[in-house]
């Protein structure tokens, strides 16, 4: 399939590479020339405006920071909507507010463009491996048309429901991940302060009920004090903010989510917004006046 891919950041760049590896023709656009050049070198075509890209492809995919960016690329004066043609499908893989997904979808539908919201989970490592979890909202028939394309980027591609359902699932995912990271941080700081090596605690609990994908991915980063971002604190703050705004609209209290959002906001204020979200352990370390290490 001929695919336009807009947004070549930490996630978008490896995702688009996997589309090329799968044999798709990919037209790319990003604000960073270096990212475009890297993709062109392995076979991508350089794209123009979102309108120009939409005019020449069957499917446009975006991987952008937040709702305003998606709205602008999709509905701006030179956006995807201006490049409408029969059979065009738009899949937004960004993590944005579900209500914005629905708003954009309705505007595109007026011009005959079908839209899916398909946010992902797994961070940079799984984006590189092509093993992301992809949560999809929108018309089932449209999903079936592009499922094989999405499968080139993820090992799990699940249709969740109508448009916006993908981002509801992603918000739920981000709540679970954030609370897991906070729990691991609390546990490791407790162990450290008690003189028990957190690395030993990790080995002791990983095979039991406390074991989780989050524990396996983030505990080693905490122990090695490697906070190079696979998923930045800044981005998790954005997702939890969207989760709380959505929950308020629905009348659903999320007290634990609100607490972790405040922790991450404090971490950002202390200069750690660009750290991986496993860096949340630093918030607890400051409170307990200790530092998690491999040893006791």
Q: Which residues are annotated as catalytic?
A: 170
Q: Residue 254 has what DSSP assignment?
A: -
- Identify which of 235, 234, 217, 237 has the alpha carbon closest to the alpha carbon of residue 278: 217
CA 272, CA 71: separation in Å to the nearest integer? 28
**DSSP-based three-state secondary structure for 44:** coil
Domain 2-163 CATH class label = alpha beta
Residue with tokens 């961070």: 123
Residue with tokens 């450290």: 192
| pLDDT at residue 231 in the model | 87
| pLDDT at residue 296 in the model | 47
CA 137, CA 218: separation in Å to the nearest integer? 28
9's CB contacts (< 8 A; 6+ apart) are 30, 35, 63, 65
CA 19, CA 153: separation in Å to the nearest integer? 7
Domain chopping of the chain, boundaries? 2-163, 168-288
pTM: predicted TM-score of the whole model, two decimal places: 0.89
| pLDDT at residue 123 in the model | 86
Ranges of residues in the chain whose predicted pLDDT is under 70: 295-296
| pLDDT at residue 62 in the model | 98
Out of 1.20.5.510, 3.90.420.10, 3.40.718.10, 1.10.1040.10, select the CATH number for domain 168-288.
1.10.1040.10
On the CB side of 48, CA atoms within 13 Å amount to 9
Which burial class, exposed, middle or buried, applies to 15 when counting CB atoms under 10 A from its CB (0-12, 13-18, 19+)? Answer: buried
CB atoms within 10 A of CB 73: 27
CA 89, CA 87: separation in Å to the nearest integer? 6
CA 69, CA 66: separation in Å to the nearest integer? 6
> What does residue 90 show for φ and ψ, rounded to 5 degrees?
-120, 125
């Amino acid at each position: 399939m001929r695919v336009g891919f807009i947004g070549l950041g930490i996630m978008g760049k490896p995702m688009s590479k996997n589309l090329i590896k799968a044999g798709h023709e990919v037209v790319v656009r990003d604000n960073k020339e270096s990212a475009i050049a890297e993709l062109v070198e392995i076979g991508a075509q350089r794209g123009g405006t979102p309108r120009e890209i939409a005019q020449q492809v069957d499917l446009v995919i975006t991987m952008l920071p937040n709702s305003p960016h998606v709205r602008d690329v999709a509905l701006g004066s030179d956006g995807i909507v201006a490049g409408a043609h029969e059979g065009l499908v738009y899949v937004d893989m960004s993590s944005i507010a579900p209500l914005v997904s629905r708003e954009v979808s309705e505007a595109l539908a007026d011009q005959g463009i079908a839209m899916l919201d398909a946010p992902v989970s797994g961070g940079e490592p799984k984006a590189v491996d092509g093993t992301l979890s992809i949560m999809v909202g929108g018309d089932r028939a449209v999903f079936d048309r592009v499922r094989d394309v999405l499968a080139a980027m993820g090992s799990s591609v699940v249709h969740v429901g109508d448009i916006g359902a993908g981002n509801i699932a992603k918000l739920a995912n981000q709540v679970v991940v954030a609370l897991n990271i906070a729990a691991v941080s609390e546990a490791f700081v407790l162990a450290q302060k008690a003189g028990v090596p957190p690395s030993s605690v990790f080995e002791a609990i990983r095979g039991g009920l406390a074991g989780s994908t989050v524990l396996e991915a983030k505990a080693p980063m905490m122990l090695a004090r490697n906070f190079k971002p696979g998923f930045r604190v800044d981005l998790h703050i954005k997702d939890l903010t969207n989760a709380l705004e959505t929950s308020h609209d629905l009348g659903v209290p999320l007290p634990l989510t609100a607490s972790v959002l405040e922790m991450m906001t404090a971490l950002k204020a202390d200069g750690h917004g660009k750290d991986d979200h496993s860096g949340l352990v630093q918030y607890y370390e400051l409170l307990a006046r200790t530092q998690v290490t491999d040893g006791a």
